[in-house]
């Protein structure tokens, strides 16, 4: 019978308290219902009043045996060997966040109209205000009689910012369970495959269910003052930057950079000075914000559209609770030895049985086990001539108690001598709970009476439904078959201890017992090979004669055909009738044809009544008389 154990680990862990290893349990209960392993369960509850990331419990078999009716055969260990907690941050791109870009100054002359200069700025200059067109300044230079343009062009790409979303807490732990020296049952659980009510396999003999809170209680780094910056120039393609530094860069780019270009056109500074003021803010905006804890995250996804970071936390889980179900039983992971009954046959009695009578054999059985037994006893076999009913008898037997079983045995022998026949019967006793069994043989003696006087006949019906007449031998050592009645006949007693095969009288002038048949002596003329008496012998003799005559005809006929074939190369009996074809045929072939005709002729003759045989014989003789040699 299969059993199972459920180990409910209620680990009540509180943050803010120093870590300690859980090494004991609060209670062990036992129940006999389970749907996971179709058997009994252990419920082992564990609760801790301090934060922990390690469980190391040792339960000895004696401690667990106190809750069951039986003995647990293995010690049990429950371990959480490792635990990892981290926060996962995802990124969200936005059109509101502009690329961070360094620039170089750009100056060009020779435009003869204002419109031409403006179009050149739109086409060739860096977009400062984010309106989708280039930004710059144009001015008329009298000395050249043309317009000049002043602007920036893109230089080094430093990255594209993205928002950091609020984090998700992720938990992972390595759970191990072992009974005695058996293979460790293990699994790695996380809140990706755990969660309240979710059951996961723990090896092939156990299951784990997560019951508790997956919150670590860890303080979360603030995502409101940082951005994630994406560019292939960075390790992992991402880095964490200051939101304030990026805002300074963006504000200067959109609101002040154009003024520096105008100052450059007016001669108040150079183009490289104007570009450097913007580039300094760009490089600062792209720097890692080391003041944030998120500066030390690990990149989990390098792509821009689905970027992600992980942040390890040392904080322990708040209320991590587990339920472990363990397969237990004869073939399970943990074994329980339950007290059972064990039968032992302590005495037995034989019997002497008259033929066609019934005797009784008995045995006394003792329960030598350490538990209550349900003993089932039956006869499994007896010697030839002794019969029994295969009925099973079950009795409840307490340790040290004895019970008795009795069985009826009948005797009928095939021997005809008056004698005693010795034999035995086997009695088996089995405990239906444990399967423990024992057996013994009990002697039986059958008394055979003489049943057959010389010359006395008896009848029976064979497997073909035909009546058979038997007669006792002279030495009283058996019977022999006298006759088998034909189909439709029955064996009727003749009043002198003998039987005869006759058709039953159905009211239509039949020949059953008591019906006069003045022509009965002629009935053999219309019977087959089993007509009986002298007519049966005549029938066989005439059949053999018919076979011999058929053999002669076969011999001559085959030589006749063979002769025709030798002379003409084919069989054409209607041509050249003067040719003696018999003499031309070969004798060996004729002999072969004669033997075949002998067998077939004799067999066919046996299949017909004697009267028809006489007609066939006369016809065959007439043909032979007319056929030339």
The pLDDT mean for the chain works out to 79
Q: Is the pLDDT of residue 603 over 80?
A: yes
List 138's β-bridge partners, or say none. Answer: 149
Query: Which phi and psi angles does 613 have, rounded to 5°?
Result: -60, -45
In whole angstroms, give the CA distance from residue 424 to residue 349: 11
Transcribe 433-446 into DSSP letters. Answer: TT--EEEEEEEEEE
Q: Is the pLDDT of residue 465 over 60?
A: yes
Q: Is the pLDDT of residue 16 over 60?
A: no
Q: Is the pLDDT of residue 514 over 60?
A: no
Domain ranges of the chain: 2-86+168-220+313-329, 100-165+221-309, 341-448, 457-515, 533-626
Tokens coding 22: 């859980």
Determine the straight-line distance between the first and last CA of the chain, rounded to whole angstroms. Answer: 92
pLDDT tens digits, residue range 372-428?
Answer: 888 999 998 999 889 888 777 889 999 999 999 999 998 877 665 567 888 999 999
How, if at all, do strands 76-92 and 55-59 pair? antiparallel
In whole angstroms, give the CA distance from residue 98 to residue 79: 51
> Which H or E element spans position 472?
strand 467-472
Burial (0-12, 13-18, 19+ Cβ within 10 Å), 213: middle
More confident site: 210 or 267 = 267
Q: Is the pLDDT of residue 14 over 50?
A: no
Counts for the chain of helices (H) and strands (E), in that order = 9, 33
pLDDT tens digits, residue range 348-366?
Answer: 999 988 877 788 999 999 9
What SS3 state is found at 374? strand
Q: Is the pLDDT of residue 243 over 60?
A: yes
User: Which residues neighbour 492 within 8 Å (Cβ) at sequence distance 6 or greater?
Assistant: 499, 500, 501, 502, 512, 513
List 428's β-bridge partners, or say none. Answer: 378, 439
0.85 cut: is pTM over it?
no
pLDDT tens digits, residue range 53-75?
Answer: 567 778 887 777 777 777 777 88
Across 616-628, average pLDDT: 68
In whole angstroms, give the CA distance from residue 493 to residue 501: 9
Domain range 341-448, CATH class: mainly beta
C-alpha torsion sign, points 281, 286, 287, 292: positive
User: Which residues neighbour 131 within 8 Å (Cβ) at sequence distance 6 or greater?
Assistant: none
Q: Using alpha carbons only, what angle is made at residue 546 by residues 541 and 547, rounded to the nearest 5 degrees?
A: 95
Tokens coding 288: 């890692």
pLDDT band for 338, please (50, 70, 90 cuts): confident
Across 271-288, average pLDDT: 96
């Amino acid at each position: 019978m299969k059993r199972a154990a459920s180990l409910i680990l209620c680990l009540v862990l509180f943050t803010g308290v120093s870590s300690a290893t859980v090494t004991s349990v609060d209670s062990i209960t036992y129940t006999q219902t389970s749907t996971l392993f179709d058997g009994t369960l252990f419920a082992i509850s564990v609760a801790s009043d301090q934060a922990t990331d390690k469980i190391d419990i040792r339960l000895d078999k004696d401690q667990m045996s106190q809750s069951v009716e039986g003995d647990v055969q293995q010690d049990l260990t429950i371990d959480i060997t490792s635990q990892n907690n981290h926060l996962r941050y995802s990124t969200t791109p936005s059109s509101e966040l502009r690329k961070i870009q360094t620039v170089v100054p750009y100056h060009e002359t020779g435009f003869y109209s204002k419109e031409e200069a403006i179009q050149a700025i739109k086409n060739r200059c860096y977009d400062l205000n984010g309106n989708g067109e280039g930004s710059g300044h144009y001015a008329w230079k009298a000395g050249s009689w043309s317009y000049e343009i002043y602007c920036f062009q893109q230089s080094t790409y430093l990255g594209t910012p993205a928002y950091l979303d609020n984090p998700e807490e992720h938990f992972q732990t390595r759970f191990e369970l072992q009974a005695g020296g058996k293979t460790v049952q293990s699994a790695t659980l996380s809140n990706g495959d755990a969660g309240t009510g979710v059951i996961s396999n723990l090896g092939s003999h156990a299951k784990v269910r997560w019951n508790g809170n997956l919150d670590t209680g860890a303080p979360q780094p603030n995502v409101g003052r940082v951005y994630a910056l994406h560019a292939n120039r960075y390790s992992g393609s991402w880095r964490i930057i200051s939101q304030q530094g990026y805002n300074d860069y963006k504000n200067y780019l959109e609101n002040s950079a154009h003024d520096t270009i105008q100052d450059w056109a007016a001669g108040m500074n150079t183009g490289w000075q104007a570009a450097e003021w913007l580039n300094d803010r760009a490089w600062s905006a792209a720097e890692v914000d080391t003041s944030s804890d998120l500066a030390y995250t690990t990149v989990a996804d390098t792509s821009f559209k689905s970027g992600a970071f992980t942040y390890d936390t040392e904080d322990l889980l708040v209320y991590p609770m587990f339920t472990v179900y363990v397969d237990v039983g004869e073939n399970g992971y943990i074994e329980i030895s339950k007290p059972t009954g064990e039968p032992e046959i302590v005495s037995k009695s034989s019997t002497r049985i008259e033929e066609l009578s019934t005797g009784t054999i008995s045995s006394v059985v003792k329960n030598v086990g350490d538990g209550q037994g349900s003993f089932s006893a039956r006869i499994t076999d007896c010697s030839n001539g002794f019969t029994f009913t295969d009925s099973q008898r079950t009795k409840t037997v307490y340790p040290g108690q004895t019970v008795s079983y009795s069985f009826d045995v009948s005797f009928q022998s095939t021997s005809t001598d008056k004698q005693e026949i010795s034999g035995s019967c086997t009695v088996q006793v089995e405990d239906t709970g444990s399967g423990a069994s024992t057996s013994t043989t009990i002697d039986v003696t059958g008394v055979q009476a003489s049943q057959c006087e010389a010359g006395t006949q008896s009848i029976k019906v064979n497997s073909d439904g035909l009546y058979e007449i038997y007669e006792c031998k002279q030495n009283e050592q058996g019977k022999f078959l006298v006759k088998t009645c034909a189909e439709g006949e029955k064996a009727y007693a003749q009043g002198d201890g003998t039987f005869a095969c006759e058709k039953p009288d159905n009211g239509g002038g039949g020949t059953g017992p008591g019906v006069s048949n003045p022509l009965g002596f002629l009935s053999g003329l219309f019977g087959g090979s089993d007509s009986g008496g002298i007519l049966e012998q005549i029938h066989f003799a005439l059949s053999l004669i018919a076979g011999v005559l058929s053999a002669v005809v076969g011999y001559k006929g085959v030589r006749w055909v063979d002769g025709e074939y030798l002379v003409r190369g084919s069989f054409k009996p209607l041509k050249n009738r003067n040719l003696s074809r018999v003499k031309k045929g070969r004798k060996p072939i004729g002999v072969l044809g004669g033997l075949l005709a002998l067998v077939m002729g004799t067999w066919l003759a046996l299949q017909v009544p004697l009267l028809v045989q006489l007609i066939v014989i006369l016809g065959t003789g007439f043909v032979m008389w007319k056929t030339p040699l």
